[in-house]
């Protein structure tokens, strides 16, 4: 008999417990919300740019009430800024970090630096929307260039935590502050102990597992199902809190690996409080089953995507780039004269790229404005993922959500999971031949667009609703 079958507890809504908040975690959270889930979403590993409906484990303990991590403007830490422009409640731009007089802040689209004459004193890292240069973290360096401390900023521009390193550059501890800048939570990176000061007393927690279990109890969710995405702290929390009717559910999001993780083996053998495993990376699912994981117990499950519009098969192609290195662009322009290519960049364009403006089927958008970007994603029904360099404007994902048909080249793909193998080529000429056929054949076009959604594991909201209600879709129980 499975461990969780031994209890008889009323079915309840549940908690979505995420180990850290990356793109996959965000898509899982969105899938839950789009499917009607209005329970708490909690993130264990802290991040400053969390959505408003996501709770941070550590910042939960930074207030006396334990109810709301955000403070009122009157309680927020007052800063003496040497750079004008920052307003409370707004994220900080790269040049709104406090530095001593005469120190210089410089930046590009990827990161920033702080210099004292010819000495590098700090590195600035960005968060939030791509290309906006909003500060997420600042590393402060010693004379030898070793990181001694990292300041962490949130979406309101508040310095909410600081990580301290030892002389070797090894993480020693992290401190979280409340809205008035007082130390509330301190985690020792060596012993894993956590000290929490609130309600007039200091409490010691053994580790993150104990802290997260306490938070779930304070949320009033003990005994409810936990939906989680990691075999580390979130799994340990499900074990510490015990069983729930229907069992807890693991959403496995990691890339393929050469073995079945030991903690997953424990679940498969019925020695855990988890009753279902859903794999959200198709290649990982194929690898797990090839390694012997029972196909009836480890199942693929994708995401509910918030598609913005339907594709109307207009012959407008969008390319977003911050480089003039667009693979075989001349070939595309020559062999697809019936298509109009819209090339957008958030920076100035080089003379080489501007020279393509001589083609009648090219439209160039240097230093493109947000409203123009919005128009282009609505207007274009194809996206060519053929630019070298990094992805900008989350363009491939945004193309996918706008139901643009994404065609790409093997050497330039930025987000393979949004591009079907049917739509990816090693050379421009076969891509051009496919584009010509797609323009003339509606059924073929829809076939390739559907293959794109299948590659990204698009699911219906109904599938998730069955999971919330304890439904037996895909024979949930292990």
- Tell me, letter by letter, the H, E, C secondary structure of the chain: CCHHHHCCCCCCCCEEEECCCCHHHHHHHHHHHHCCCCCCEEECCCCCCCCCCCEEHHHHCCCCCCCCCCCCHHHCCCCCCCCCCCCCCCCCECCCCCCCCCCEEEECCCCEEEEECCEEEEEEEEECCCCCCEEEEEEEECCCCCEEEEEEECCCCCEEEEEEECCCCCEEEEEEECCCCCEEEEEECCCCCEEEEECCEEEEECCHHHHHHHHHHHCCCCCCCEEECCCCHHHHHHHHHCCCCCCEEEEECCCCCCCCCHHHHHHHCCCCCEEEEEECCHHHHHHHHHCCCCCCCEEECCECCCCCCCCCCCCEEEEECCCCCECCHHHHHHHCCCCEEEEECCCCCCHHHHHHHHCCCEEEECCCCHHHHHHHHHHCCEEEECECCCCCCCHHHHHHHCCCEEEEECCCCCCHHHCCHHHEECCHHHHHHHHHHHHHCHHHHHHHHHHHHHHCCECCHHHHHHHHCCCCCCCCCC
Please provide residue 255's backbone torsions phi and psi, each rounded to the nearest 5 degrees: -70, 165
Domain residue spans of the chain: 3-40+221-300, 73-199, 316-455
Please provide residue 256's backbone torsions phi and psi, each rounded to the nearest 5 degrees: -55, 145
Full pLDDT tens readout for the chain, 478 residues: 344 444 333 334 899 999 999 999 999 999 999 999 999 999 998 778 899 899 999 999 998 765 444 444 444 444 444 445 677 778 888 888 888 888 999 888 778 999 999 899 999 999 876 667 889 999 999 988 899 999 999 988 889 999 999 988 899 999 999 988 899 999 999 999 999 999 889 999 999 999 999 999 999 999 999 999 999 999 999 999 988 888 899 999 999 999 999 999 999 988 999 989 999 999 999 999 999 998 888 999 999 999 999 999 999 999 999 888 999 999 999 999 999 999 999 889 999 999 999 999 999 999 999 999 999 999 999 999 999 988 888 899 999 999 999 999 999 989 888 999 999 999 999 999 999 999 999 999 999 999 999 999 999 999 999 888 765 444 444 4
Region of 62 please: left (phi>0), alpha (psi -120 to 50) or beta.
Answer: alpha
How far is 105 from 103, CA to CA, in rounded Å?
7
What is the per-residue pLDDT for 81?
43
What is the per-residue pLDDT for 35?
93
Is 72 exposed, middle or buried, given 0-12, 13-18 or 19+ CB atoms closer than 10 A?
exposed
**CA neighbours closer than 13 Å in the CB half-sphere of residue 112:** 24
The residues with which 387 forms a beta bridge, in sequence order, are 326
- Number of CB atoms found within 10 A of residue 33's CB: 18
Using only C-alpha atoms, the chain has a radius of gyration, in whole angstroms, of 25
Regarding the domain with residue range 316-455, which homologous superfamily does it belong to in the CATH classification? Answer: Glycogen Phosphorylase B; (3.40.50.2000)
* Predicted TM-score of the model (pTM): 0.85
**CA neighbours closer than 13 Å in the CB half-sphere of residue 216:** 29
> Which of 210, 216, 207, 293 shows the shortest CA–CA distance to 252?
293
406 is written with which tokens? 């994404």
């Amino acid at each position: 008999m499975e461990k969780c079958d031994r209890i008889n507890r009323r079915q309840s809504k549940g908690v979505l417990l995420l180990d850290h908040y990356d793109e996959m975690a965000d898509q899982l959270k969105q899938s839950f919300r789009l499917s009607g889930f209005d329970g708490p979403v909690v993130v264990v590993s802290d991040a400053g740019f969390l959505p408003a409906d996501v709770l941070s484990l550590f910042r939960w303990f930074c207030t006396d009430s334990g109810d709301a991590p955000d403070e009122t403007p009157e309680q927020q830490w007052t800063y003496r800024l040497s750079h004008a422009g920052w307003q409370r409640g707004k994220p900080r731009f790269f040049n709104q970090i406090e530095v001593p007089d005469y120190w210089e802040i410089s930046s590009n689209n990827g990161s920033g630096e702080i210099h004292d004459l010819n000495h590098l004193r700090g590195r600035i890292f960005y968060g939030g929307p791509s290309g906006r240069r909003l500060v997420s973290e600042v590393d402060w360096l010693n004379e030898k260039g070793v990181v001694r401390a990292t300041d962490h900023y949130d979406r309101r521009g508040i310095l909410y935590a600081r990580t301290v390193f030892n002389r070797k550059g090894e993480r020693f501890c992290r401190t979280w502050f409340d809205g008035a800048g007082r130390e509330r939570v301190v985690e020792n990176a060596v012993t894993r102990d956590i000290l929490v000061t609130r309600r007039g007393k200091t409490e010691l927690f053994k580790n993150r597992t104990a802290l997260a279990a306490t938070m779930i109890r304070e949320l009033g969710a003990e005994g409810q199902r936990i939906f989680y995405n990691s075999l580390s702290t979130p799994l340990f929390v499900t074990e510490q809190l015990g069983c729930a009717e229907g069992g807890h559910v693991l959403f496995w999001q990691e890339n393929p690996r050469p073995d079945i993780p030991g903690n997953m083996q424990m679940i498969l053998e019925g020695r855990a409080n988890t009753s279902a495993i859903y794999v959200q990376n198709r290649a990982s699912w194929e690898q797990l089953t090839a390694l012997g994981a029972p196909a009836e117990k480890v199942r693929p499950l994708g995401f509910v995507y918030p598609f913005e519009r339907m594709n109307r098969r207009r012959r407008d192609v969008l390319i977003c780039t911050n480089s003039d290195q667009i693979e075989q662009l001349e070939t595309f322009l020559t062999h697809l004269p019936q298509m109009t290519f819209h090339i957008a960049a958030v920076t100035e364009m080089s003379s080489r790229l501007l020279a393509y403006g001589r083609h009648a089927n090219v439209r160039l958008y240097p230093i493109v404005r947000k409203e123009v970007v919005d128009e282009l994603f609505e207007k274009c029904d194809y996206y060519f993922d053929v630019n070298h360099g990094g992805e900008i404007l989350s363009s491939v994902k945004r193309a996918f959500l706008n139901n643009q048909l994404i065609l790409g080249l093997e050497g330039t793909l930025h987000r393979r999971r949004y591009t079907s193998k049917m739509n990816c080529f090693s050379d421009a000429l076969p891509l051009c031949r496919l584009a010509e056929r797609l323009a003339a054949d509606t059924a073929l076009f829809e076939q390739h667009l559907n293959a794109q959604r299948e590659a990204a594991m698009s699911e219906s909201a109904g599938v998730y609703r069955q999971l919330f209600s304890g439904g037996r879709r895909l024979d949930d129980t292990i």
